[in-house]
Amino acid sequence: MSRLVRPALILVVLAALVGMFSVSLVSAQDASDYVDPCLAEGAEAGAEAEAVEVPDNSDISFQIILPGARGDRSFTDSAAAGAERAIAELGVDGTIIEPSGAQEHDAAIRRAVQEDPNLVITIAVDASVVEELVDEYSDQKFAAQETFFPAPPEYDNLALFNILTHENSYLAGIAAGMLTRTKVVGAVGGGDFPGINLFIVGYEEGVKSVCADCTVLRSYVGGAEPFNDPVRAKELSLGLFSQGADILYQVAGRSGEGVLEAAKETGNFAIGVDSNQDDLYPGTVIVSAMKRVDNAVFGFVESIVNDTYVPGTTNVGLAEGYAGLSWDVGICSRTFDENGPEDLVEKLPAVRQAIDEARAKILAGEIVVTNALFDSAS
């Protein structure tokens, strides 16, 4: 699978190069001497990837429990992709478990522990479940991701790893704020939870930072299946578009498919989440706020292979390269440049420059983005 992806990636980068040249011809005159740092890096990454030898680590095994079935083309799929890459590149023996929902997490983890793997990775499993099982199976090494404890837990068999996405959502907000034609943008979350508001609050601040008089409409899908009901999400989005919003940021898992479709159908735009969703609807999805869950999963497996497993809590984000935009973080998506409408594509170099400046300021600590997860007041 990944063998196919990489040449495709190079092709995309090359195509993007051509696209960028034609764009820069237009915009080069008007002051923007912005050089895209992504292009050079992207080409290198592509060249590097050719020489990978698969070591034999088949005596090392891991089991990964996904939050639900694959197919959200977002968060869950990203985690699964990381596990698949680890199996392919590290030569370890891995099992990917897809429970049907939160009610099966406990049983799935218990079953995984029975197999006696070197590492059990849980993705977005509830804190109380993780805590109970980590306590019960103290000989089993666990790695938990996207599990938010009220206080950092201390177990010597649990490595906790959280990717915080308020800062890259802020960058996505800058893109939305600069590209909106109507000065109204929106965010669609699955439900009103801190883990979702982490994205939305960051996004709102990003929008406001470049467009103080913009309105940000915030809506949640809710219902029986907040993260698996694209039909509701689509109705919700059509409502937001009728309110004058022209860019929606979706943070709703598989429901998000409905948001993207609504944007496509009404000729508006959307911002993807977690995985690179730019190519799902070329010209409609402007950019995706990426969360490199795949890299984190890969890192966990690598830590077992290299015997560098350290228990404890790690929070990473923009600075460590785990959160970013699909325009960077090793993806270098330029789909919107090629397929977007001209008036917006013309603005992209300026947007990228603003984003780069904001990123530098965030990393330097000059801009502090509200973290809705720890600061529940927002």
Locate the DSSP E strands across the chain: 57-65, 92-97, 119-123, 142-145, 158-163, 184-189, 215-220, 247-251, 269-274, 285-291, 312-316, 323-325
Token pair for residue 342?
């001209």
Q: Which is nearer to other proteins, 138 or 243 (CB)?
A: 243
How crowded is the C-beta side of 124, counted as CA atoms within 13 Å? 21
Query: For other proteins, what does the binding mask look like between residues 43 and 82, x meaning CB under 8 A?
Result: --------------------------xxxxx--xx--x--
Q: Beta-carbon neighbour count of residue 240 at 10 Å?
A: 24
Q: Which is nearer to other proteins, 103 or 242 (CB)?
A: 242
DSSP state of 343: H
CA distance 310 to 141: 10
Phi and psi at 57, nearest 5°, equal: -125, 35
CA distance 42 to 36: 11
- Residue 208 touches other proteins, criterion: CB under 8 A: no
Helix (H, G, I), strand (E, B) or coil at 241: helix
- Residue 234 touches other proteins, criterion: CB under 8 A: yes
- Residue 239 touches other proteins, criterion: CB under 8 A: yes
How many chain residues interact with other proteins (CB under 8 A)?
38
Considering only residues 315 through 334, tell me which ones interact with other proteins, judged by CB under 8 A.
Answer: none
236 close to 211: Cβ distance less than 8 angstroms: no
Q: Which is nearer to other proteins, 42 or 190 (CB)?
A: 190
- Residue 285 touches other proteins, criterion: CB under 8 A: no
Angle between the N-to-C axes of helices 2-27 and 342-364, in degrees from 0 to 180, rounded to the nearest 10: 110
Q: Binder to other proteins among 63, 122, 228, 333 (CB under 8 A)? A: 228
Considering only residues 135 through 194, tell me which ones interact with other proteins, judged by CB under 8 A.
Answer: 186, 192
- Residue 364 touches other proteins, criterion: CB under 8 A: no
Give least dist CB 7 to other proteins, A: 19
Give least dist CB 335 to other proteins, A: 14
Give least dist CB 124 to other proteins, A: 16
Q: Binder to other proteins among 223, 303, 356, 370 (CB under 8 A)? A: 223
Token pair for residue 249?
């940021």
Give least dist CB 292 to other proteins, A: 19
CA distance 346 to 248: 20
- Residue 131 touches other proteins, criterion: CB under 8 A: no
Q: Which is nearer to other proteins, 224 or 364 (CB)?
A: 224
- Residue 240 touches other proteins, criterion: CB under 8 A: yes
Output the furthest CA–CA distance in the chain (Å, rounded): 65
Token pair for residue 347?
């603005």
CA distance 91 to 376: 42
Per CB under 8 A, residues contacting other proteins are 69-73, 76-77, 80, 186, 192, 215, 217-220, 222-225, 228-232, 234-236, 238-240, 242-243, 245, 254, 257-258, 261, 280
